[in-house]
Structure 1
């Protein structure tokens, strides 16, 4: 079999499987630190992906990558907060990111544009990227992952690439974690989503103009995300059990349940559907193992939580930023690989679980706004250092830079490794 493509090296410091936000962020920041990185993705960018609404914590990794000015220049619409029709009275209430500190806004964006922007930046920073390529299996030597075998769309050849470390950022395909780890589904969040797009929509008024709308109904909840001008991404999320019981086509369920909304129905009263329907199901999960010999995972390949508070891209890019720092140290001091990745996995899991715990509790729509504020405080600020309302915004902002997961220290491991063996460069 051919060992490499023409003009493409076959050996790297790091191979990243997947060029989405998690993989591209990890690859770009590692290349920025001088490492030789290969990214392999099965699609050709730009490619469609759902998850158009971002939260402020994503601005940290974007600043590291040097992309904040480009996001603004590209015309992505700023998102200053959110509007809920939620709780026991189904009253409308909202929040503003300005009350959570640090970054006062995020963006709504077409994911095809955002994802291509991040991957292009990884290329600019020095990462090698192969698109329309599918990783078929890892290469192993003495129980350690040392590379991957992959194919290129339209050819019958299999290629090999080797590396000191392999990062699984393959999303829900879970190329490595499917092989090396069991997975836990979060039963409280086993849901089905069906979504489409509408033009000629009315927007929320006044200070809510750029807000994402989340509207709860008896059978689930709808999102309404302003993409640009009068276009909305509109999706319905409902328990898998309800879909299994009714056996109703998801498109019909979407239309039926739309009639039970209030604010969303009003916004769409003169709208026209401008795209087909897409669906997804049963997506909230956590892998039991986040790393093994020679490999580590990030983004949806590690864990994913229900999209209720728009954490997908934020978790992916934040974890990618954290992982890049850890991998940089591991490449320099190979002896710290296991304990360093243990710390990364523990921090990532804790970060994820705090958000998941809140989302599970937030799904109880029998409470009041004040109850949800208090619940956020219990999750992230049990000592009550801030007001419950401020803690609610901080959590919905992605916990900002305050979370310990964003400040993993490996100094003690590095000191021990430096004493016992010289660093590798």
Structure 2
């Protein structure tokens, strides 16, 4: 096996493009299973990323990676639920994760630290991780992706190669491979813009709501407030793109104008001091037409992303990474099942994503009462009405939608028809 300048082999079982939560989870669990994995990321960790509030579904892959104790050790604050000012009468109401499944809490995190924690764990488990590495092109042979070319910061003139049986695109919204091999469908109902910043000296919600995320709706959009540290909060405003206009420079003005229309948030921020600049993002809700092809597969935000109303991004990405790692491990054992196995992954992943997307789209109707939102969740995750509607609501927004097909993909029946019984010729 040839060795590159950096002491990294050039041939692998799997190459993962992107070292964020989806890519690092996929790579770490494949390495844990004994597979030779290369992770390429164009940035150096820790690096900034939005999405600081997590939901309980993220705990399943964190357990598999052996990271649950480290999350507490890093000082991330446990998140036990949420407080909403939402619906017809605008009266605040709460939900608690303990009502929705086996995980009673998730975390609010500093994403730079959280993402670096998962990527470092992938290293510990045996994955090769190369940061400051920009993927340039896929390497294709006979219509199949068999590797990638990439450059390393400071030596861009030298184009390097790495080859593998499968290439996983976990590059987030950069969509390194998906831009080449498939097309994204943007969800018109969720064409939004977000503008956010950070504030010190914020007050907290009272009593049992102390660690809750606050989601407060106003006429033209909604605010989030995420307690990251003792008195520091991430605060953002989300509205329709057409209402925000085309000039990003006006978004801070829009933030301050709309903040004055809130009630609970304005109370929490009455003595707050802004401690960072404004950032923004636009038009982020989409699904790719294809989730896989010959020699490649998508995971995380590269495959699909939905509006951040319920903080589903990281959980969906890491859950999908966990599932994909098991599927790839089996494909490497039995290459003949690749197409059918990835087809099952793609179908289940799309269905899980669509379940959340449909709920978020309908939740945006704030003319309803909370009981409507509970019943809507029950239609999606508990059509037999086995539990209370409120429990179905918590289970859905926890990312733990019962025995969803994404978590129960079977592969043992694949390839059976091609096998001959013992002694047959």
Q: For residues 282 and 373 of structure 2, what CA distance do their matches in structure 1 show? A: 26
Structure 2 equivalent of residue 9 of structure 1: 9
Counterpart in 2 of 1:70?
Answer: 70
Q: SS where residue 38 of structure 1 aligns?
A: strand
**Are the aligned partners of 1:11 and 1:162 in contact in 2 as well (CA < 8 Å)?**
yes
Question: Take 1:418 and 1:33, find their aligned partners in 2: how far apart are those partners?
Answer: 25
Matches within 5 A, 1:17-416: 17-155=17-155, 156-244=157-245, 249-399=250-400, 402-416=403-417
Alpha-carbon contact 1:3-1:161 (below 8 Å) kept: no
Q: What is the DSSP-based 3-state SS (H/G/I as helix, E as strand, rest coil) of the residue aligned with 2:341?
A: helix
Cα pair 2:200 2:231 within 8 Å, conserved = yes
Aligned residues: 420
Give the superposition deviation at 1:232: 0.3
- What TM-score results when the alignment is normalised by the length of structure 2? 0.97
Mapped contact 1:335–1:417 kept (Cα < 8 A)? no
**Could you list the per-position Cα deviations for residues 315-366 of structure 1 after superposition, in whole angstroms to 9, with x for gaps in the alignment?**
0000000000100011110000000000000000000000000000000000
State the Cα distance separating 1:90 from its structure 2 match.
Answer: 0.9
CA contact 1:173–1:301 (8 Å) conserved in 2? yes
CA distance in 2, matches of 1:141, 1:246: 44
Counterpart of 1:348 in 2: which secondary structure? helix
CA distance in 1, matches of 2:59, 2:140: 37
Shift of 1:154: 1.3
Partner Cα distance (1:266, 1:187) in 2? 33
* Equivalent-residue separation in structure 2 for 1:123 and 1:401 (angstroms): 32
Contact 1:57 1:400 in 2 (8 A): no
SS of the aligned residue for 2:9 comes to: coil
Structure 1 residues 409 and 254: CA distance shift in structure 2, 3 A = same
- What are the ranges of 5 or more consecutive residues in structure 2 without an aligned counterpart? none
* Offset from partner CA, 1:152-194 (integer Å, 9 cap, x none): 1111211000001000000000000000001100000000000
- For the residue of structure 1 that corresponds to 2:375, the secondary structure is helix
For normalisation by structure 1, the TM-score amounts to 0.97
What are the ranges of 5 or more consecutive residues in structure 1 without an aligned counterpart? Answer: none
Pick which of 84-93 and 392-401 moved more. Answer: 392-401
Q: Is the 8 A contact 1:44 1:131 kept in 2?
A: yes
Shift of 1:241: 1.0
1:170-225 deviation line (CA, Å, top 9, x unaligned): 00000000000011000000000000000000000000000000000011000000
